[in-house]
Homo-oligomer: A and B are copies of this chain.
Amino acid sequence: MSSNAPPADSYPSQSSHVTALDLPVPPRESLPPDLQKYFRICEEKIGFLPNVLAAYAFDEKKLRTFIGFYNELMLEDSPLSKLEREMIAVVVSSANRCYYCQVAHGQAVRELSGDPALGELLIMNYRAAVLSPRQRAMLDFAHKMTVAPDAIVAEDRDALRQAGFDDRSIWDIAAVAAFFNLSNRMATAVDMMPNPAYHAKNR
């Protein structure tokens, strides 16, 4: 419940920095041509250059290894669909309360699923979502890996197998969940801010 009200102005504007570290984003034209081209393609597909790429751009090698790792994981062939990988990304990012990743990958879930409510559910509490047993098992494993990694035992892998995943798929579930435990912490540690344009997309 809420009442109508004129917009208030009693709080500060939100930050527009890329990160809180003094590691300035280099001018686009100073990057090698292939990275300039990669950035242009991102902008065309997404509508803007994701801040995470701007954040890594202070160091060309780090940018390249990040892009390589990320794209292999999220965009290459996998027994998991892209939506499933994004669902894992959101559940992990929610457990770690990473602002950047919840915004960016919540949008991806809305877009790939065509269902705005699903993105909200996975951010707010994936246990409240209606999921297939396969997806529930996948997200339960990713969630446990995130909040209690030391307690993962053989029974947890067996639960995935019983939900229909083969060992090749289990590797990818683990790899995606593990990766967002990296990127969540990197984004939070440097206070990375998501592009504001994410918020209104696919609502």
Binary per-residue interface labels of chain A (132-156) against chain B in the complex, 1 for a CB within 8 Å, 0 otherwise: 1001000001000110011111100
Of A6, A23, A69, A97, the most chain B CB neighbours within 10 A belong to A97
Which residue of the partner chain B has the closest CB to A15? Answer: B130
* Chain B residues near A184 (CB-CB < 8 A): 149
Q: List 18 A-B contacts (CB under 8 A).
A: A1-B42, A1-B74, A7-B115, A61-B72, A62-B175, A64-B68, A65-B73, A96-B149, A99-B120, A123-B124, A127-B153, A141-B189, A149-B188, A154-B191, A157-B191, A173-B189, A174-B186, A178-B186
Are B127 and A98 in contact (CB-based, < 8 A)? no
Are B10 and A83 in contact (CB-based, < 8 A)? yes
Range of interface residues on chain A? 35 or more
User: Interface majority SS on A: helix, strand, loop or mixed?
Assistant: helix
Contact residues of A between 94 and 112, Cβ < 8 Å to B: 94, 96-99, 102-105, 107-108, 111-112
* Chain B residues near A199 (CB-CB < 8 A): 116-117, 120, 203
CA distance A73 to B112 in the complex (A): 33
CA distance A75 to B188 in the complex (A): 24
